[in-house]
């Protein structure tokens, strides 16, 4: 059962060949056995999960189940879930038990899914390796000496290690796609505004987007069907007709135009990654797709632009964490100002403090025009590059990350090298486009390689179609780590 797809699990639950309680207990037993080594989960409440599973079984017996009813799903610890500890991987929120559900959590609850637990993550989603978590790094199940990617590394690890059927993630600059690539799973960042951000603890509000993570494109389509939808509580939520993201999965790829940006295959890309991606493109040609060369000339500026805009928004969003109403408060202080300073100094980790300081600087008087305003102008140029590219192609493909998973601690002393892990993903967030990563082979040290697929606005169904047809022709997505 641990290798079954969501569709297969749903069919088994409907046929009563297994109950949701049995399935949930299977995953809980695996979490108890493997999580101490992998550190993928921060919070597990077996009694709560099993109670949800019993409700799902009753719903299945009554014949009013949905596709995700009874399916055990892990939730990234950035989503508020009522009566669950929600830490965002930070000491600052070490004791915060949410009084309400995020929109995404509520959608899964309404569908009858089982909340299996809250997954580890980089602190406040700031990181590319899951090493900034206050609760320790997540280990990559393919090689426990290596990182799983970040910030949704706990979710990616949990799926790869078969500790859940699927999981949620968030993507601000690649935080779904990059860990999906490094852990050999599938992950999708939807068009900005398709999934509500209500109850998702904010990092950079104009970039953050929730999305599904699973073993296959078919799983992602079923998950996104539940997650997507208008929410009036989120001012950036888009009011659109309801879509079935699985509607085009079976369509052949004859005539699909794939754009290959020359900037994605330049200096800095590992040879092993390039080889796997090129083999995937060759497979797409066999499936009937055509390939066209395109250019995204401003994409090289995406990393510096991101590291001006994202810290600027973070410095504003994280100002609420001051030790007053909830979260960490310094045990000793002399007055209110001292309490603010000590609570924030002690409650935030080094990477979060670094980004708050950068963000405050670029927003300060005398520097706003030189940095923040200029970055917003270049952001518009990056989006225009994609608009021009999509005149010539239907989807854009390339590597998700420049290398396979690196060793724990390898880039800890060099923030710039760590930031470059997201060099191929960040531009998608700056433009608000949908993007996904699927497994396409293995590179150095037998570590997974991810193929990134970028779609035009609201092009999720087409992307999922392209990914699904590739996964029907290959088996990279079905590979599992040894010993797992």
The residues assigned a catalytic role are: 76, 151, 175
Distance (Å, whole) CA 258 – CA 289:
7
Question: Is 396 in a helix, a strand, or coil?
Answer: strand
CA distances from 332 to 94, 323, 327, 338 (A): 18, 12, 15, 9
Q: CA-CA distances (angstroms) from residue 279 to 69, 369, 453? A: 37, 45, 15
**DSSP class of residue 372?**
I
What's 183-252 look like in SS3?
HCCEEEECCCCCCCCCCECCCCCCCCCEEEEECCHHHHHHHHHHHCCCCCCCCCCCCCCCCCCCCCCCCC
Phi (first) and psi of residue 170, to 5 degrees? -130, 150
Q: Would you list the DSSP string of 295-343?
A: --TTGGGHHHHHHHHHHHHHHHHGGG-SSSSSS---S--SSHHHHHHHH
Phi, psi torsion values for 112, nearest 5 degrees: 85, 15
Q: In this structure, are residues 462 and 455 in contact, taking their beta carbons and an 8 Å threshold?
A: yes
Q: Is 218 exposed, middle or buried (0-12, 13-18, 19+ CB in 10 A)?
A: buried
The answer to whether residues 435 and 428 touch, using CB atoms and an 8 Å cutoff, is yes
Closest CA to 431 of 373, 378, 374, 380: 380
The pair of structure tokens assigned to 319 is 């100002």
Please give the Cα distance from 115 to 109 (Å, whole number): 8
Strand order in the sheet with 448-455: 41-43, 114-119, 72-76, 166-170, 210-214, 186-189, 435-442, 448-455, 395-399, 257-261, 290-294
Question: Residue 168's closest CA among 126, 117, 241, 217?
Answer: 117
From the number of C-beta atoms within 10 Å of its C-beta (0-12, 13-18, 19+), residue 241 rates as exposed
């Amino acid at each position: 059962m641990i290798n079954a797809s969501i569709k297969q699990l749903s069919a088994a639950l409907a046929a009563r060949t297994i109950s949701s309680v049995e399935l949930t207990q299977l995953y809980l037993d695996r979490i108890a056995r493997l999580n101490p080594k992998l550190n993928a989960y921060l919070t597990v409440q077996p009694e709560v999960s099993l109670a949800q599973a019993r409700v799902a079984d009753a719903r299945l017996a009554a014949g009013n189940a949905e596709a995700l009813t009874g399916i055990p799903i892990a939730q990234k610890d950035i989503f508020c879930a009522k009566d669950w500890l929600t830490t965002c991987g930070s000491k600052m929120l070490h004791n915060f038990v949410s009084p309400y559900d995020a929109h995404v959590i509520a959608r899964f609850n309404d569908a009858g899914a089982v909340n299996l637990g809250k997954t580890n993550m980089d602190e406040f989603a700031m990181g590319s390796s899951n090493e900034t978590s206050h609760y320790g790094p997540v280990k990559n199940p393919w090689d426990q000496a290596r990182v799983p990617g970040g910030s949704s590394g706990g979710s990616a690890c949990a799926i790869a290690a078969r500790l859940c059927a699927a999981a949620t993630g968030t993507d601000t600059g690649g935080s779904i796609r990059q860990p999906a690539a490094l852990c050999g799973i599938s992950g999708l960042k939807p068009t900005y505004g398709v999934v509500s951000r209500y109850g998702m603890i904010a990092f950079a509000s104009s970039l953050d987007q929730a999305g599904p993570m699973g073993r296959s494109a078919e799983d992602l389509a079923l998950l996104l069907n539940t997650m997507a939808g208008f929410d009036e509580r989120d001012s950036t939520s888009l009011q659109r007709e309801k879509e079935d993201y699985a509607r085009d999965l079976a369509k052949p790829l004859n005539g699909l135009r794939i754009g290959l940006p020359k900037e994605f295959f330049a200096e800095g890309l590992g040879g092993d990654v390039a080889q796997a991606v090129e083999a995937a493109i060759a497979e797409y040609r066999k499936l009937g797709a055509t390939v066209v060369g395109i250019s995204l000339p401003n994409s090289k500026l995406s990393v510096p632009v991101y590291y001006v805009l994202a810290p600027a928004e973070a410095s504003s969003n994280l100002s609420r964490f001051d030790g007053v109403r909830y979260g960490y408060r310094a045990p000793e202080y002399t007055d209110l100002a001292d309490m603010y300073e000590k609570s924030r100094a002690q409650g935030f980790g080094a990477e979060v403090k670094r980004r708050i300081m950068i963000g405050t600087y670029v927003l300060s008087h005398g520097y706003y025009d030189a940095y923040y305003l200029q970055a917003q102008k270049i952001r518009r140029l990056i989006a225009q590059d994609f608009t021009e590219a999509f005149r010539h192609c239907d989807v854009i493909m390339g590597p998700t990350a420049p290398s396979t998973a690196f060793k724990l601690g390898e880039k800890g002393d060099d923030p710039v090298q760590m930031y470059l892990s997201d060099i191929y993903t960040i531009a998608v967030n700056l433009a608000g486009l949908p993007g996904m990563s699927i497994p396409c082979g293995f590179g150095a040290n037998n570590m997974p390689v991810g193929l990134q697929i970028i779609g035009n606005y609201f092009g999720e169904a087409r992307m999922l179609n392209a990914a699904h047809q590739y996964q029907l022709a290959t088996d990279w997505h079905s590979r599992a780590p040894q010993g797992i």
